Every structure is written in structure tokens, then in C-alpha cells.
Amino acid sequence: MSDARITDLYEVTMAHSYLAEGMTAAATFSLFVRKLPPGRGFLVAAGLEPVLDHLARVRVDEDDVAAFAAALGRPYRELEPLLGLGFDGEVRAVPEGRIVLAGEPLLEVTAPLPQAQLVESFLLNQVCHQTAVASKAARCVLAAAGLPVVDFSLRRTHGVSAAEQAARLGALVGFAGTSNVAAAHTHGLHTVGTMAHSYIEAFDDEAEAFRSFARSLPGPVTFLVDTYDTAAGVAVAARVFGELGLHDGCAVRLDSGDLGALAVEARAILDAAGLPRVRITASGGLDEYGIDALVRAGAPIDAFAVGTLVGVAADAPYLDAAYKLVSYDARPTMKLSAAKVTAPSAKQVFRGPGFTDTVALFDEPVPPGTRPLLEQVMAGGRRTGPPASLAAARAAFEADLAELPAAARRITDPQPPRAAVSDRLRRLTVDVRRRLERRVRSAGEPGRGPSAG
């Protein structure tokens, strides 16, 4: 299936109407998050790379036109003006890994109006999902306070593509590895994995299961110890570790119950068996809140595995994001709907020390001591440079995280910084609002409406 069909039907009808009306001048759309989800002090920009791939290859072909016509119940010839429609515009965007705030554009698209309209759904899909998951994963890294976190989300994400993205996004914000073999191969990630309870159940007893597993996988191994009785499982694992002379790099995994109390008990059993270097890994319904509680309690856990709650960003699975027209044919415009007002014209974000951000017009000079966030990443429908590496995105995230105020980094009750608005943007917003309100009032006056005369 062509990428052009990955869109909502109303994008097709609007693009078709624009073409019929000859409305093909340059339009700028801004993609931003209106407000942060509850419990979030920041967002991590993500999803840009698949967006640029999509824009570089999207083009409406004959099969797409036929599909659009069928969806609308119209003859092929009526939708034929869409044939060959692609993307030859430009994109300015916040690079992946950068930390962003509410109200700041993550990306802006400038292209002929039908082109910029048709791609809206794909752009929102990728940026919203990936930014939500990356932001959740980043909070897990913060909660772990330097201990390793790994991704176990493949089995519970909403499809294999989402699982691949979750693995990559975890690595972007500092995860130590993933259980997802395909994602690890694609992105060069470290693979991790232990065993399932079914493996233990398949043997007559835990000791034989552990011995067999170690024999088949020479080197450091991790034993899952809570299939029957956790304390007894740890004791059996300690005995097998001792029999086989396994120490460094080996671990036991706790996957259920009171992980903090069980970790204390497991550590005592392992230490008493002369195995102080055997580590304890915790999993089972963990996210940043569970990790934070365990770390704050001083639980002797050496690594955390997160799955469902992080892979689907369970407590904040969507973003209040929008892709709005802010300029058409050099005319700034905006939306005036209650609670959904937008700001006009193309923009830039200037970041000052300590996340003293200012949203400004894109052509404003860079204020002293600040850095622009949005970079031009596509021109003429082509990337302006090679795809950004995962390592570069991770470095950008780590640099921003180090500068983020402590209140925004908190796991509970975070306080996000608020971006200011430049004087020029504020004045333009007032002017455009007044112009639009005059037009609305004029259209509603007797004798001035569309049916007058």
C-alpha cells in the first residue's frame, strides 16, 4: 500500500478542494502540544525521523486515487487532480531527544497548501505517539537514579511497530537494552533476556531448570525465582550458582509480589551463600512511579525491567497536540475557538539558561545568551542532511536533562517550566485576532452575509 493512503479522509477532501480552487500557495502548519499531560514536567521530542522518511517518499499514485475515489463513492476522474501530489516543501523541527515544553512547536511544515494538508495525520501519529513514550521512558531513567533500565514491552505494546519504537525510544533516553531482538538488530541495541515461568514449570523442579538453562547458555545467566516461592527460588538459584561456579554478571529476577521486601530477603540469601556479586533484577508492572518508590526505599535492586506501563505510556497515552495552519500565502492566521486558540505565523523557540524559553516569530533575531531550538531539516522535499543518529539524539537528551530544573525532573508533582512569548509574536497575535474578529462580525451583519442580495 502507498504511504499516501496513510491519512484521514478529510485530509483528502480538503486537499482535493484546495486544488480545485487553485489554492496552492505556500502554507505553514505548526505541530505543538497545547498542555502537558498530568504528572509530566517535560516532553522529549521524538518521531521526527519517520516523519522525514515519509515526506521524502510520499506521492499519490493511480491506486491511491482509486482508493480515494472508492472511499468517497465518486468517479476516479473527479479525484484525478490528486495524482502525483507529493511533498516538495520544507520542515523546521526540534531534533529528536531535545526536551520541549507546552506550547512550543515540535515541527513546522511549509509547503503548497494541498501538500501540507495531506500529510497531517501521519505527522501527528508519529510525533504524538513517540514523544509520549519517550517522555515516559525518560522519567524511568530519572527514577532509577543511575541504575540500568531495560525494555521488556514487546508483548504488550499496540502492535509490533509500536514495540520497535518503544525499544528505540528507550535507548534514546538511556535504557541499557531491550528484549526485542528485531529492534535491537535494527538499531544496534544491546539485547537482554532471562526466562519465562513456563520454562521453570516445564521441569520437575527449579534446580534442574536452572542447571539446564545455564548449560545451554554458557556465561552469565539470570534465573527467574518467583514461579513457586520466591525465597525458596532464590535459595535454589544460589545453590546452582555455587555448584556451577557462576558469579560475576549473573542475577536473579523478581517479577511479582512486594519487590522491595523480596529484594531485601533475596540479597540476604545470596550474601549468606557467598554470592555478593550476583545481582538482583526487578520486573513486573514497573514504571517510573514503582522504580522511584523502590529506589527511595533503598531496596537492594541492581536493575529494572519495564514493559507494559512504559511501552504504552499507560498513565498518559496521548498528547493534547495539534497541527494548525498559522500562515497561508504570506497571510498570518489563527484559530479563535474557545480553549483552542492558536498563535499566528511561523515560529522559533529561543532557549535561555535553565529552560527560560521564549516562543517567537521565526525571523526574529536570536536574543543574546539563547539558542534556537528548531532547525531546518528538509528543503525542497529533501533532507538537508543525513538522518540523525540514535547516539546524537541521546546526547541531546542528556545535555537538556542536565539543564532541566529540578522541579521539572520530579517523579511526583513535577512543575514544568513555562515558555514566554516574545513581544513581536504577542503584538501580531493581537492584530490577527482583531482582523479575524472584524471579519466575523462583518459577515454576520444584515445585508453582509453570503446570501445577501
**What residues does each domain of the chain span?**
3-133+318-443, 143-311
Per-residue pLDDT, averaged over 240-249, amounts to 92
Q: Provide the CA 434 distance to its chain's centre, in angstroms.
A: 37
CATH number for the domain whose boundaries are 3-133+318-443: 3.20.140.10
pTM (two decimals): 0.94
Mean pLDDT of the chain: 95
Neighbouring residues of 77: CB distance < 8 A, sequence distance ≥ 6: none
Strands 356-361, 347-352: pairing kind: antiparallel
> Does position 178 have pLDDT exceeding 60, yes or no?
yes
Architecture of domain 143-311: Alpha-Beta Barrel (3.20)
Return the pLDDT at 442: 84
Strands 149-151, 303-306: pairing kind: parallel
Encode pLDDT of 23-47 as tens digits: 999 999 999 999 999 999 999 999 9
Q: With bands split at pLDDT 50, 70 and 90, how would you rate the model's confidence at 158?
A: very high
Return the pLDDT at 340: 84
| Widest distance between CA atoms in the chain | 98
Neighbouring residues of 413: CB distance < 8 A, sequence distance ≥ 6: none
Q: Are 162 and 311 in contact (CB under 8 A)?
A: yes
CA distance 151 to 137: 9
Question: Of 348, 377, 378, 379, whose CA–CA distance to 365 is shortest?
Answer: 348
**Positive or negative, the Cα torsion across 119, 121, 124, 130?**
negative
Return the pLDDT at 275: 97
Question: Of 22, 9, 15, whose CA–CA distance to 83 is shortest?
Answer: 15
Neighbouring residues of 63: CB distance < 8 A, sequence distance ≥ 6: 2
CA distance 195 to 213: 9
Q: Which of 94-108, 178-192, 430-444 has the lowest mean pLDDT?
A: 430-444
CA distance 341 to 356: 23
Return the pLDDT at 247: 86
Shared fold status for 3-133+318-443 and 143-311: no
